[in-house]
A = this chain, B = another copy of it.
Amino acid sequence: MAARHTDTREEIVRIGTQLIKSHGYNAFSYADISEQLQIKNAAVHYHFRGKEDLLAEVLDQYIDQYQLLKKQLVQLNASATFAMEKFIERYSILVDANSICIIGSIASDYNTLPESVKEKVHQLVTMVLKMVEETLASGKRSGEFQFSETAKTQTLLVMTNLAAGVQLARITGKKDYDTIKRAIIRQLKG
């Protein structure tokens, strides 16, 4: 009796992603996944030879998600404000799920990862930063946003506020994250 789940492979990726964000990459095993799905260890290995392969797929899906989000924002002809709201929302959701962003999680374990995966992380980070930079630059041109730094620098400031804000929230609570979030918006909105 195979395929007890609509798509086991996708379920594995889903749970893997969740485990990385909640417990950290080096803190979970294939057993954690197989138990949740009520399948055997070997079934996870069937879909993903090793943990690195699973991580690579998780990262690929993030890259896809961001590409899709970008496409949607273009199609909607979304304002820079709306786009930034969407970006920020992703982090707020993490806080409510007692999770942290995948990049922040992986940054901790970065030195234990094989080169191929490091490259994929780099690709994802570069992509997200580029998207936000373009959004901030466009928002400045349209008069929606105001900031004196370059768009690139402002992006680094905003994204580090968000990423570490989510991490901090785990330790000191949601209030600190909310303070950070409001400050970011206040600064951009002048």
Contacts and interface: CB of A to CB of B under 8 A. Distances in A.
Contacts of A157: 157, 161, 180, 183
Interface string A140-166: 000000000100110011011111110
Contacts of A180: 153, 156-157, 160
A107 B22 CA distance: 10
B160 A164 contact: yes
Contact of A171 (B103, B153, B170): B103
Contacts of A161: 156-157, 160-161, 164
Interface stretch (A23-31, A35-43, A44-52): A23-31
Interface residues of A, number: 44
Copies in the complex: 2
Contacts of A6: none
A111 interface: yes
A165 B125 CA distance: 13
A148 to B, nearest CB: 9
A176 interface: yes
Is the contact region of chain A dominated by helix, strand, or loop, or is it mixed?
A: helix
Interface string A165-186: 1011011100010011001000
A3 B156 CA distance: 48
Contact of A172 (B109, B126, B167): B126
A167 B163 CA distance: 10
Contacts of A122: 171-172
B156 A107 contact: no
Interface of A: 22-27, 98, 100, 103-105, 107-112, 118, 121-122, 125-126, 129, 149, 152-153, 156-157, 159-165, 167-168, 170-172, 176, 179-180, 183
